[in-house]
Amino acid sequence: MNRRQRLVIAAMVGIMVFATVFAVAASLSITATSLGAGTATVASCDTNGVTTSFETTYSATAAGYQVTTVHVAGIATPGCDGLTMKVTLIGAADASLAERTVTLATPAANPTDLNFTADNVLAASVVKISIVIA
């Protein structure tokens, strides 16, 4: 097989691969209620954000203060009523220390309290709290 024939075959294979990838990508769709490859604007149920605080208790076993309860306040009602809220305690290097998921009441309690006692997370380890309401 000469060089010209190899180039023609390589070009044909490249075109077929590109066409296949393009066809698969074109078949992906996205809506505001699903995930996939693409972008869409997803409306927020709470446009002004929420506030958080947490309570601690001293643990002699852990030799420090542990997070017992996380309070999430300012949840929009009726916009967020009945939705699922996930609260994650995050430590250094964005490591997840503990997570709780709750279905918000109708109307959403203000504040909504989540119990983290069983997770034995030291308060000094918590760098930030992530909240997703969906």
| Contact in structure between 57 and 115 (CB atoms under 8 Å) | no
The pLDDT of residue 23: 53
What pLDDT sits at residue 35?
Answer: 47
Strands (E), the chain: 51-59, 64-73, 84-90, 96-103, 112-115, 128-133
DSSP string across 78-106: TTTTT-EEEEEEE-GGG-EEEEEEEEPPS
Is residue 81 classed exposed, middle or buried when 0-12, 13-18 and 19+ CB atoms within 10 A define those classes? Answer: middle
pLDDT at 61: 84
Q: What are the pLDDT tens digits along the chain (134 aa)?
A: 677 777 777 777 777 665 555 555 555 554 555 444 555 556 689 889 899 999 999 998 888 999 999 999 999 999 999 999 999 999 999 999 999 999 999 998 889 999 999 999 999 999 999 999 99
What residues are paired with 89 via a beta bridge? 98, 129
Q: Report pLDDT for 12.
A: 72
Using CA atoms, how far residue 2 sits from 7, 31, 59, in Å, is 9, 50, 78
